[in-house]
Amino acid sequence: MRVSLLGLGPMGGPMAANLVRGLGSLAVWNRTPGRAERVVALGARQAASPADAAADVVLTVLPDLPQVETVLHGPEGLLAGWRRARVPEPVLVVHGTVSPVAMRSFAEGLRREHGVRAVDAPMSGGVPGAERGALSLMVGGDRGDVEALAPVFAPIASTVVHFGPSGSGQLAKACNQVVVAGTIAALCEALCLADRYGLSRADLLAALDGGLAGSTVLDQKRERWLREDFTAGGSARNQLKDLRFAREAATAAGAPSELTALLHDQFHRMVAAGDGELDHSGLLRTIAAGT
């Protein structure tokens, strides 16, 4: 089984490194070629274009479906590459967080028009999880396709849950993002309260971590809050996008979404203030400023 990965950003880069180590071979492509240097040094092949990266299984680690569509189409896109290489029923894995409804329609269209089998496998665990090969994958797609992907997922994920047909993995990720955003917002507000009364942030976070309020979010973001270093990481802009998808899904199902709406508004303020590219833990700045 030939495998390739497109998108070597903060998550895709370490995922590619683990895939090279676990599978022994991997083709990679990134719009900015320089980002491939690390994984090429580990043994990956740097593809000249998405078409050159066409393989039996192609993993995309891109922000949303428009970016996936971009690498699919055109004379040097994946579809052209699959046709030239005569790959029968290739599998496209969408690791980015996208609209559950759009994912379902996208997967149906790919299979009907091009014979491509799409699987959605959005991930949770952040950059530390990607680096350790310990991501949690929430998967949607045909069971046979998902089972066949087990050896591909093994080097990058410690938890793989198949929720059902296309789009269901994205719906699970939307639920995940509500919890992540809610935890970040609660911790940021608690830190602001502690600051007003002169409590030590380090002491407060240590106390929270030792009790029921402890969480992976706290573990991963602790140093950012202590140093007020919100560069890179999981961007507020992407968090806002994910919350928008969660709101849309809740509205379509008539599900309660009061907290989701509040979180959406908070991250919208953060992005509107010019902090969209900061790590989502930088919501602390927005809450502290009262903007």
Examine the domain organization and report whether 123 and 38 are in the same domain. Answer: yes
Q: For residues 222 and 215, what is the distance between their CA atoms, to the nearest angstrom?
A: 10
Domain boundary among 117, 139, 165: 165
Examine the domain organization and report whether 231 and 129 are in the same domain. Answer: no
- Residue span of the structural domain in which 31 resides: 3-165
Residue 208: CB atoms within 10 A of its CB come to 17
Render pLDDT for 15-47 as a digit per residue (tens, 0 to 9). Answer: 999 999 999 999 999 999 999 999 999 999 999
Examine the domain organization and report whether 151 and 68 are in the same domain. Answer: yes
Residue 274: CB atoms within 10 A of its CB come to 8
Burial class from Cβ neighbours inside 10 Å (0-12, 13-18, 19+) for residue 193 reads: exposed
Q: Are strands 27-29 and 3-6 parallel, antiparallel or unpaired?
A: parallel
| Active-site residue (options: 173, 222, 241, 280) | 173
Examine the domain organization and report whether 73 and 204 are in the same domain. Answer: no
118-133: b (≥16 Cβ within 10 Å) or e: bbbbbbbbbbebbbeb
173 is catalytic: yes
CA dihedral 229, 232, 236, 238 (to 10 degrees): -160
Whether 155 contacts 130, CB under 8 Å? no
Examine the domain organization and report whether 153 and 277 are in the same domain. Answer: no
Domain boundary among 147, 165, 183: 165
Examine the domain organization and report whether 101 and 9 are in the same domain. Answer: yes
pLDDT for the residue 203: 99
Whether 184 contacts 191, CB under 8 Å? no
Domain boundary among 123, 144, 165: 165
- Report the CATH number that the domain containing residue 20 is assigned in CATH: 3.40.50.720
pLDDT for the residue 151: 98
Examine the domain organization and report whether 132 and 177 are in the same domain. Answer: no
Could you list the pLDDT tens digit for every one of the 291 residues in the chain?
999 999 999 999 999 999 999 999 999 999 999 999 999 999 999 999 999 999 999 999 999 999 999 999 999 999 999 999 999 999 999 999 999 999 999 999 999 999 999 999 999 999 999 999 999 999 999 999 999 999 999 999 999 999 999 999 999 999 999 999 999 999 999 999 999 999 999 999 999 999 999 999 999 999 999 999 999 788 999 999 999 999 999 999 999 999 999 999 999 999 999 999 999 999 999 999 986
Examine the domain organization and report whether 127 and 237 are in the same domain. Answer: no
Entry pTM: 0.93
pLDDT for the residue 291: 60
DSSP 58-126: EEE--SSHHHHHHHHSSTTSHHHHHHHHT-SS-EEEE-S---HHHHHHHHHHHHHHH-PEEEE--EESH
Domain count, the chain: 2
Burial class from Cβ neighbours inside 10 Å (0-12, 13-18, 19+) for residue 283 reads: buried
Burial class from Cβ neighbours inside 10 Å (0-12, 13-18, 19+) for residue 78 reads: buried
> Which 8-state DSSP code applies to residue 25?
-
Examine the domain organization and report whether 119 and 208 are in the same domain. Answer: no
Examine the domain organization and report whether 98 and 192 are in the same domain. Answer: no
- Judged by DSSP in three states, 203 sits in helix
Examine the domain organization and report whether 18 and 135 are in the same domain. Answer: yes
Token pair of 198, please?
A: 């002169």
DSSP E strand boundaries for 200-267: none
- Report the CATH number that the domain containing residue 241 is assigned in CATH: 1.10.1040.10
pLDDT for the residue 232: 79
Examine the domain organization and report whether 11 and 98 are in the same domain. Answer: yes
Residue 169, CA distances (Å) to 28, 80, 153, 260 in order: 24, 27, 14, 19
Q: For residues 156 and 114, what is the distance between their CA atoms, to the nearest angstrom?
A: 28
